[in-house]
Amino acid sequence: MDQYLIEGGHPIRGRIRASGNKNAALPCIAAALLTDEPVILRNIPDIEDVQVMLEVYRSFGGETAPLGPNAWRLSLSNIKTSEIPREQAKKIRASILFAGPLLARTGKAVLPPPGGDVIGRRRLDTHFLALTELGAAVEINHSFSFSASHLRGADIFLDEASVTATENAIMAAVLATGETILTNAAGEPHVQDLCRMLCSMGAEISGLGSNILTIKGVKKLRGCDFEIGADFMEVGSFIGLAAATRGELFIEGPQIRDLRPAKIAFGKLGIVWEHEGTTVHVPDKQTLEVNSDLGGMIPKIDDAPWPGFPPDLTSIITVVATQVNGTVLVHEKMFESRMFFVDKLIAMGARIVLCDPHRAVISGPTKLAGSELHSPDVRAGMAMVIAAMCAEGKSIIHNVYQIERGYEHLVTRLSSLGAKIS
């Protein structure tokens, strides 16, 4: 299995362009099923998860053609099957995003249990709730089978603000008869991107960015030429990497508004950045000092659904905190197994107390020692890359497939910034 060899102690310096948002690319590929006209998607990251989603799209009879770097033309006039291939479904949790479009186009969808990151229980109940409210019947055996002779709009209250369940509900509702109101909907930037793409195809969606979406069903959607936004999770990862290695970095292309929750959280660690237009500058003279809460209390960084601090950055900010002077509590509220990777950081020399599956107290700064590591998921894997680049000596990271599912050409891009990684 592929691995990374990293020599620590080399600050990164230079300029890099942010990749397209992985979590927008995946639902937008699924949404291309909603029309029999060609769809062009731009700024699509060249990562493993995208390749798997394109494989699934082709399994339905779709054609995909690259249009230069990070752009694809997708077309599918007649869907051959409504069953998602089991092999691809095991590789990626986002395979469930084809359920809504398949229901809307064919009246049925068969989905094997989806795979993805091992970060604790990731319930699917909210998908079932939304799709049944729209008129689908669900049968659970070795697979999940959805069927609907006719989808109709509904007033739906989601039991949790699930990103993928919100996206599935939106994609099913755009071709349903009547009006759908989605309350407690997810409002993340990638959900907004999906809505913008669908609106460019002729959908009628209002309330973008809020937790109440109104969708007026239309009879048919047309093709589109759509560019997704920058991946603010990747941008946050690179900001953390630059600060932790005491480097200087210019990141081109991010939407500054998407970074506001991260800016508050990183600010608690004394990490700041500047921006001009759509370029973020992380200076090399960072304080890297924990800013206590009022009264001198230990500050807490906790994740939450948008517009809270993104859960995908909790692993990143945990390892960055090991290089900051002071003590901070990181509270991962949403996934009960995500914080277990800190055992690897402790073995490298980090001073971390794992209070329970959700909370870790980090005291820094600590010198980390190079080690042999295994990446359990995308974000913990990137956190290990940051730890290895801060450490003294060499580290080996195994199972880097998990990292490359979410970070585009990582070795090449980090090498261009002065990292010693191969």
Cα dist from 386 to 141, 226, 275, 328, whole Å: 42, 33, 23, 18
Residue bearing tokens 């230990």: 298
**Three-state secondary structure call for residue 85:** coil
Nearest of 99, 116, 121 to residue 33 by alpha carbon? 99
Amino acid at 123: R
Strand partners, 72: 41, 66
Which string of DSSP letters, residue by residue, matches 115-165? ----SS----HHHHHHHHHTT-EEEESSSEEEE-S--B--EEE-SS--HHH
Q: Evaluate whether 311 touches 331 at the Cβ level (below 8 Å).
A: no
- Retrieve residue 72's tokens: 């694809």
For the chain, how long is the longest CA-to-CA vector?
A: 64
Catalytic residue among 117, 193, 231, 312: 117
Reduced to 3 states (helix: H, G, I; strand: E, B; else coil), residue 369 is strand
Two structure tokens written together for 260: 């506001």
Q: How far apart are CA 250 and CA 311, in angstroms?
A: 24
Instruction: Choose among 243, 273, 242, 278: nearest CA to 257.
Output: 278
User: With 0-12 CB in 10 A as exposed, 13-18 as middle and 19+ as buried, what is 263?
Assistant: middle
Please give the Cα distance from 27 to 224 (Å, whole number).
Answer: 15
Whole-number Å distance between alpha carbons of 52 and 69: 18
Burial class (CB in 10 A: 0-12, 13-18, 19+), 405: buried
The verdict on whether 231 is a catalytic residue reads no
Q: Which residues are catalytic?
A: 117
